[in-house]
Chains A and B, each alone.
Chain A
Amino acid sequence: MGGHVGAPHSESGYVKTWIYVIRRLIALIPVALVVATIAFVLIHLAPGDPASIIAGPDATAEDVENIKHQLGLDQPLPFQLVRWYGRLVQGDLGRSIFLRKPVLDAIIDRVEPTLLLTVSATVIAVLIGVPSGVISARFHNSATDQAFMMFALFGISVPNFLLGLIFVLVFGVWLGWFPVAGYSPLEYGWAKTVRSLVMPAFALGLVQSALIARIARSSMLDVLREQFITAGRAKGLGERAVVYKHALKNAMIPTITIIGISFAVLLSGAVVVETVFNIPGLGRLIISAVLRRDYPVIQGVVICIAGVYMLVNLLVDLSYLLIDPRVKYQ
């Protein structure tokens, strides 16, 4: 931002930054191990054993034993756990019981709509949330501010799937502006894809924009109370210059965090909203897997989403290095 790109200006500064980045990556390892272990425990928490579910209701005891042996389920638990870590490191998420293909392939097949939905919802949330928060803060305690904030408080009270259903009713059924449900893949032309994503993306993005507006507003208010703002006003700067040039830059830091977290939250929100609009993404994949008790798919989707979540959080932390020249990492 501005003239400062990156905190470090010296040789040793660069080294320090890289050491920090590497340390953060190493710090992820224990969390990743716990995540992998939780995903492993999930399948063993289930009533009945996975082998008999895979074998199906008509299987004989012998079939079940065979499958157990094939999957290594007859081995001691710690041994299975170590094997599970080993497979994860190699990117092997196992095979889907129902879809009869590798879990990773099933996930890749479904990733396009979920990713597009998440990205467009994030863009909508930021484009609406940040300006309304900033305007609210600039006209603090005015009617505009109160109206925005009441709206935002109401916004965080509406679950995204409900807003989606209301959109379907109003813009799909009553007004007929957008298709009620379904998704048109990119390969059939992007215009159709955009049309099918407008309602779900707004349903997801609007709710998050309310949250972003509240945060942008409070961080803006914090900054506006600082001494350098008073100094700026004292030397005769106009209110516009104070708010948009000096305060905004400083208020962006907490806001960027929230944008990053928003992406992660919206990814999981997309999983829910997909059901409203019948979009064949990761959400439909995991829900149908739950209904069919297709445990490898559940594990795979959960691990992938948690991975993205962790990665985004890391990137948010690291982005401070670029945004805020004052931040020094030891």
Chain B
Amino acid sequence: MAVNDPAADTVDLGCASAVERRSPLWLVQLARRKITLAGAVIMLATLVVGVLAPVIAGNPTQMEVQARLSAPSRTHWFGTDDVGRDVYSRVVYGARLSIFVGACVVLFSFVVGVTCGLIAGFYPRLDNLVMRLMDGLMAFPAIILAIALMASLGPSVANVIIAIGIVYSPRVARVVRGSVLVIRETAYVEAARALGAADVVLMLRHVLPNCLSPVIVQASFVFAAAVLTEAALSFLGVGVPPYVPSWGNILSEGRLYIQQAPWLVLYPGGAIMLTIFGLNLFGDGLRDLLDPKIRGLQTERQRAG
């Protein structure tokens, strides 16, 4: 159990810490943990559904007004919504949107977060300035900052990505900076510096690759948080525009028709739960494997914040 245990910490996973980070075995190791594997399968399934959406689902915006709020049936597997749109198609396209938003937010917050973290960790003079800005951004609860940013940016998919990206960048920056501060002092960085390597080369070739594993671990959690935040924003009516099929949007309509049409809540809700569950299973396994130094507690705290 100790190996499969999702909330286990390093002491349980003495075997994992022995795994070399660059060992080609790590994929095999990952697959060996059944729970992590289950998480990966769920993630992959969501990805396939999202990518294949145009093939496996109908038109998510086509309205059949005469069939509005009809219960799940052979023609409409998940029923229809209040204007007669097929809920199955909308849920499938919702997966596509969630993956797109999640991936873009990870990309955005990593470009911004890694850059800021590298600069802050590398140049003590800029450290204070950059990190105070990051502290200020992190002083807002995630969802509140996202709502406020959406108010200024206006509703669109791109703006949702920007808003959530801004919210999670400081969290990435903090992790990167922490690693950079340690790696900066190592002998090989000093050696490279003595050989005359420029700062940019030092940062990108010597420091960055060695602080990647906590960053990769962070990725799965940022992805999950981005999917959840997008759903919450859309549910509140301040996320993606109402015509875009998104799990949050379907739930937002579902709330109004919950008495007549519970399927409007149950199917997209199930999709969100399953996706986040898969991401969490996978993320926990990845953390134990790639970065035994990060203990369960720290990840929980990041998640809590």
| Nearest chain B CB to A232 CB, angstrom units | 19
Does A295 lie within 8 Å of B258, measured CB to CB? no
Whole-angstrom CA separation of A218 from B153 in the bound complex? 41
Question: Is there an interface contact between B235 and A34, defined as CB atoms closer than 8 Å?
Answer: no
| Interface presence of A64 (CB below 8 A) | no
> For the complex, what is the distance from the CA of A149 to the CA of B258, rounded to whole Å?
31
Binary interface encoding of chain A residues 33-48 relative to chain B, with 1 for a CB under 8 A from any of its CBs, else 0: 1110111001101110
Flag whether B5 is at the interface (Cβ < 8 A): yes
- Which residue on A lies nearest to B151, using beta carbons? A290
Cα of A146 to Cα of B8 in the assembled complex, Å: 11
Contact yes or no, A214 B300, CB < 8 A: yes
A4-12, A77-85, A303-311: which one contacts chain B? A303-311
Report whether A157 and B237 are in contact in the complex, using a CB–CB cutoff of 8 Å.
no
- A218 near B147 with CB under 8 A, answer no
CB pair A166 B265 closer than 8 Å: yes
Q: How many residues of B contact A (CB 8 A)?
A: 59
- One of B58-66, B88-96, B135-143 contacting the partner: B135-143
Instruction: Kindly identify, within residues 202 to 249 of chain A, every residue whose CB is under 8 Å from any CB belonging to chain B.
Output: 211, 214-215, 217-219, 221-222, 225
Question: 11 more A-B contacts (CB under 8 A) besides A141-B2, A162-B265?
Answer: A34-B139, A35-B139, A157-B280, A159-B231, A159-B276, A161-B235, A214-B7, A268-B143, A269-B143, A271-B147, A290-B238
- Contact, CB under 8 Å: A218 / B7: yes
- Contact stretch, chosen from A91-99, A109-117, A257-265, A321-329: A257-265
Closest to B281 in A: A153
Point out the residues of chain B lying under 8 angstroms from A153, CB to CB: 6-7, 277, 280-281, 284
Asked if A126 CB lies within 8 Å of chain B CBs, one says no
Q: Which residues of B contact A159 (CB under 8 A)?
A: 228, 231-232, 272, 276
- Tell me the interface secondary structure of chain A in the complex: helix
In the complex the two chains form, is A302's CB within 8 Å of B153's CB? no
Cα of A321 to Cα of B149 in the assembled complex, Å = 37
A215 neighbours in B (Cβ, 8 Å): 297, 300-301, 304
Bound-state Cα–Cα, A32 to B132, Å: 10
Q: Does B68 contact A (CB under 8 A)?
A: no
Q: Are B258 and A268 in contact (CB under 8 A)?
A: no
A156 CB contact (under 8 Å) in B144, B232, B266, B303: B303
Q: Which residues B1-48 have CB closer than 8 A to chain A?
A: 1-2, 5-9, 11
Chain A residues positioned under 8 Å from B272 (CB to CB) = 159, 162
B133 adjacent to A34 (CB under 8 Å): yes
Chain A positions within 8 Å of B254 at CB level: 165
Q: In the complex the two chains form, is A254's CB within 8 Å of B5's CB?
A: no
Q: Is the CB of A141 within 8 A of B141?
A: no
Determine if A189 is an interface residue (Cβ-Cβ < 8 Å): no
Out of A169, A299, A301, which one reaches B265, CB within 8 Å?
A: A169
Residue of B nearest to A162 (CB): B269
Cβ of A38 and Cβ of B137 under 8 Å apart?
Answer: yes
- Is A289's CB under 8 angstroms from B151's CB? yes
Q: With a CB–CB cut-off of 8 A, which chain B residues contact A261? A: 301, 304-305
Closest CB in chain B relative to A2 CB, distance in Å: 23
Query: For residue B150, which residues in chain A have a CB less than 8 angstroms away from its CB?
Result: 290
**Residues on B with beta carbons closer than 8 Å to the beta carbon of A76:** none
Check if B236 is an interface residue, CB within 8 A of chain A. yes
Residue in A closest to B6 when the chains form the complex, CB atoms: A153
Supply 6 A–B pairs (Cβ within 8 Å), ascending by A.
Answer: A34-B132, A35-B139, A272-B232, A276-B255, A305-B140, A310-B139
Q: B1, B137, B144, B265: which contacts A146 (Cβ < 8 A)?
A: B1
User: Which residue of B has the minimal Cβ distance to A27?
Assistant: B135
Residues of B within 8 A of A257 (CB): 301
Does A198 make an interface contact (CB < 8 A)?
A: no
